Amino acid sequence: MRVEIHGHRGARGLWPENTLPGLSRTMELGVDALEFDVALTADRRLVLTHDLTVSAVTSADTRPLDHDDPLFPYVGKPINALDLAQLRTLEVGVRLPRHAQDQFALTQQPMPDTRMPTLGAVLGLVNAYQSDSVRLHVELKSDPTRPELTPDPQIFADLVLDELDRHGRLDNAAILSFDWRIIARAAEQAPLTRRFALIELDTLHWHGCLGDDIPAAAAAAGATTLSPEHVMVDETLMAQCAKAGLDVAVWTVNDTALAARMLDLGVAGIVTDYPDRMRELWRERGLRLPRPVSPLRPVSV
């Protein structure tokens, strides 16, 4: 069985997350899927960011857009309260850890003067590469418990699907979300596009009573793959996924010993901040390695 390596937020352990230079280097390293996060701005632009508020770890203010901008500083403000132009003033290429033991700050290569990209810019970047072998995994950030920070799930899903379609990427992309309302909408609007129902212990309550068979509930919501937190994966879950007809892509696995256990359980994909480590494990096991890609023309990031 083919088992895939999915680069998490590009490759967060190696390069700044959700950035053009980080994503380009991850493709050049070689992954089966390039995962990144998308949120919606005040002016309805799709930008790459993991958090619904501007993170003080991944972002730093450089200047206000206008000298008297009442929303400055932007760090800590909701993404959906800021326009793209305001967000583009942020530095997002240097990690600012909250503690000295931040593992990503220790291993991540800083890339100063990097700005928050739009989804359209990422799709343009990917199209500048020989990238048909790399699937795009677009996670739509949505929190049903915080509606003031979260766009309407149907509108959000439609905007992302429209952008993917505009760039000819619907057939080689996947929609991911912890908010299964987005999964259901994607199933309606783009039934041929893969859909990953994300799940973790902390957000199980979002879906009401799922009963003892989470995979069956995910399939009913429109998912084609279940993507659980690694602590949830065991023989029972794998058997339920097989019965529901769902593949399993487990996250976020950075330790090769843990990855080996997940492979032994039969997962179809491993989401990792360190694709380089997984490539070494794949070599040891004789698994098919994803091919590194090269730009068709010089790429400026």
Task: Flag whether pLDDT at 53 surpasses 70.
Answer: yes
Q: Where does 4-40+117-285 sit in CATH, by number?
A: 3.20.20.190
Confidence band, pLDDT 50/70/90 cuts, at residue 130 = confident
Task: Flag whether pLDDT at 298 surpasses 70.
Answer: no
- Residue 70 burial class via C-beta count within 10 angstroms: exposed 0-12, middle 13-18, buried 19 and up: exposed
Q: Where are the domains of the chain?
A: 4-40+117-285
Task: Flag whether pLDDT at 118 surpasses 70.
Answer: yes
User: In the chain, count of helices (H) and strands (E)?
Assistant: 10, 9
Query: What value does the mean pLDDT take over residues 270-294?
Result: 97
Q: What pLDDT is recorded for position 208?
A: 84
In order of 230, 263, 264, the CA distances from 214 in angstroms are 14, 21, 21
Smallest CA-to-CA distance from 22 within 92, 73, 82, 72 is with 92
**pLDDT single digits (tens) 186-203:** 999 999 999 999 999 999
In order of 28, 121, 217, 256, the CA distances from 275 in angstroms are 11, 23, 30, 10
User: Phi and psi (nearest 5°) for 81?
Assistant: -100, -5
Residue type, 124: G
Query: What value does the mean pLDDT take over residues 166-190?
Result: 97
Task: Flag whether pLDDT at 210 surpasses 90.
Answer: no
How far apart are the C-alpha atoms of 94 and 9, rounded to whole Å? 15
Query: For the chain, what percent of residues have pLDDT higher than 70?
Result: 98
Q: What pLDDT is recorded for position 128?
A: 86
Confidence band, pLDDT 50/70/90 cuts, at residue 114 = very high
Q: Using the 8-state DSSP alphabet, how is residue 244 labeled? A: H
Contacts of 290 (CB under 8 A, 6+ apart): 4, 5, 30, 31, 32, 133, 134, 279
Q: What pLDDT is recorded for position 300?
A: 55
**pLDDT single digits (tens) 131-156:** 788 999 999 999 999 999 999 999 99
